[in-house]
Each structure stands twice: as C-alpha cells, then as structure tokens.
Amino acid sequence: MHKKLITVLAVAGCLTYFGVSPSAKTPAGRQAASTAQSGSQSKSGVDQDINLLRQDIRSKKKQLVAANLKLTDTEATKFWPVYDQYTADLVKINNEKYALIKEYADQWGTMTDEQALSLTNRALGVEKSVAELRIRYVPIFTAAVPGKKVATFFQIERRIQAMIDLQLSSQLPLVQAQE
C-alpha cells in the first residue's frame, strides 16, 4: 500500500500542477500508472522516481520564475546564483517534507494517536523552517536585485509552492480515514 501511495502522491500531485495527468502518455505518467497498478516497484525505485520528479519540478519552477521575473542582464547575473543556493537550501528542507510523506504512507492503516501528533508537529516544523529560510534570504536577494523584484520573486515562489502543496495535500487521505 505505501509504495502505491507514495508514487501516486508524488506523481499525481506534482505532475498535475504542471498540467500533466498521471495517466498521460509521458514516461512519468506511464510509470505512475504502472506502479499504482502493479505495486511491484522497489522502494529505491520509488525514491528514484520521486527524486526525478522533484528535479523536474525545480527545473519548471525556475522556468516559471524566469518567465515572470523581469531581470536585466546585470540583475540576472547576480540573482540566479542566489536563487540556486536558495533552492539547494530549500531542497534540504523539502527532503524532510518528503520523508514525512513516506513515513505517513508507511504508517497508514496502523497509525497511533502519538504517531499522528508526531507527524503533525514535524510537518509544522518543516513549514517553520521554510518560513525561516525565506526570511534569511530576503537580505541576500536584496543585495542582488532591487526590493520590488525581491518581493515579486517571493510572490512567485510562494504561489508556485502553494499550488504544489495543494496538489500534494489533495492526494493525501485524511488521518481519520484509516479507521
């Protein structure tokens, strides 16, 4: 069950955001459908698929930022290295988020009250870490580009992340549904 849930969450949630349904005729879509039906993929295979999807999302996210954040050549030269470092730091935090999702899937059906509260508290901790990262990076981005462009970047980044989170959370069954 947990392999199916993880793959469905990663594929359906993340790819749907970018306009690709899990049953679409793409390699990732075929893989998701195959994995959801057969359940025979190894845990490392699921992890590898999730990592590939996350890389693809980061690439598309960068494209969306580039298309919507109007930077001069000089600003772009300063902005993108900061963006890449910010993204690397965000990936570390998101690793915790995806580990929690996998843990949720592993505990699904047998989750105790204590496990549910632990997952909730750790998920809130991840959200707090993301907010702290953003706060830490405001002055770093400000050293690279003007304030309005920093604000615009964080608006774009938060909108994209909110949409990804909405897609992901819509694929997670509620805790009480396991009873």
pLDDT, tens digit only, all 179 positions of the chain: 444 444 434 444 443 333 333 333 333 333 333 333 344 445 566 566 666 677 778 778 899 999 999 999 999 999 999 999 999 999 999 999 989 988 988 888 899 999 999 999 999 999 999 999 999 999 999 999 999 999 999 999 999 889 888 888 888 888 888 76
User: pTM of the full predicted structure?
Assistant: 0.72
pLDDT value of position 42:
53
Phi first, then psi: give them for residue 18, nearest 5 degrees. Answer: -95, 15
Tell me if residue 109 falls in helix, strand or coil: coil
pLDDT value of position 47:
66
pLDDT value of position 51:
66
Annotated domain spans of the chain: 53-178
pLDDT value of position 50:
66
* Contact between 8 and 28 (Cβ < 8 Å): no
Structure-block tokens of residue 104: 């949720």
pLDDT value of position 128:
98
Structure-block tokens of residue 17: 């955001």
Structure-block tokens of residue 92: 């570390």
- Distance CA(145)–CA(136), nearest Å, equals 15
Is residue 37 within a helix (H) or strand (E), and if so which, with residue range?
Answer: helix 27-38
